[in-house]
Structure 1
């Protein structure tokens, strides 16, 4: 078995270990769209370091995860939920929501208007500067 594959499997297992803590901490809902009673997956908000950091992790439903990972599959109607998510108290969720809002702001007025209303903490601004190219 290749070392890279083993490393990826181990990382996935370690992320799954965070699921219970994140579910408890964030009320078992998708941190972007607010979906409840659905399978949630731990997602690492970039930049991803070699060590897993729970402070860079959010819970996403399968719909959000699929659309975050595959931009061509993004449905604009699904992402109207960003108007709530950009104000999240959980910094990684807020960063991911703002990244997606900026992505949609290029082509959709509602996202551009939302982006204009944002006031972000210095920590969020710094994080966003590091990952602008992700979406």
Structure 2
């Protein structure tokens, strides 16, 4: 029995189909997909996948290999290349490649389905007052005394807040417990502990 992964390994010669690295490879199903197949998946490295899924900031230098890999015979690779070139279109090399890249109508329709190509390359993350990235479960320290609205609680300068939760639709806010009460705190008043 042949697996999707073994087909992709053979197809890509065991390298990332986007950047050609041979490290930290895994199967990535190119959205939107109902059922994963070798035709709608690629073999990609963790660096590429993290940037595609906006888990890490987009590094334009990492993607310069798209100048070669965008010419793949495989639609899934073409779709991801087109999306990433579109996100990087402010880079002259990416804009040039995007102008050269021809996709069949059905492949272009697939590439446009997520709307991801309409966004720019920057990704917003929750960051403390020093620009350090915050994650769910982090411990932070207040850098300013804050009055908690709708409560008699005052959160003092230097208060440690453990096990924060990131507010999903606002990168300027986290939730944490102070004196047993869950409150929303602005990230600009926090320092990672």
TM-score normalized by structure 1? 0.76
CA RMSD of aligned residues (A): 1.8
Q: Distance in 2 between matches of 1:80 and 1:92?
A: 18
Say if 1:27 and 1:132 are closer, same or farther in 2 by CA, change over 3 A.
Answer: same
The structure with higher relative contact order (CA 8 Å, sep 6+) is 1
Which structure would you say has the larger Rg? 2
Runs of 4+ residues deviating >3 angstroms: none
What secondary structure, in the 3-state scheme, does the structure 2 residue paired with 1:112 have?
helix
Corresponding residue for residue 130 of structure 2: none
Q: Which of the two has greater strand per residue?
A: 2
Gaps (5+ residues) in structure 2?
120-193
* Equivalence map 1:4-15=2 (5 Å): none
How far did 1:72 drift? 4.7
Q: Distance in 2 between matches of 1:121 and 1:61?
A: 26
Q: Is 2:104 the partner of 1:121?
A: yes
* Equivalence map 1:1-135=2 (5 Å): 17-36=3-22, 38-49=23-34, 51-70=35-54, 72-105=56-89, 107-133=90-116
TM-score normalized by structure 2? 0.55
Question: Bigger CA drift: 77-86 or 65-74?
Answer: 65-74
Gaps (5+ residues) in structure 1?
1-16
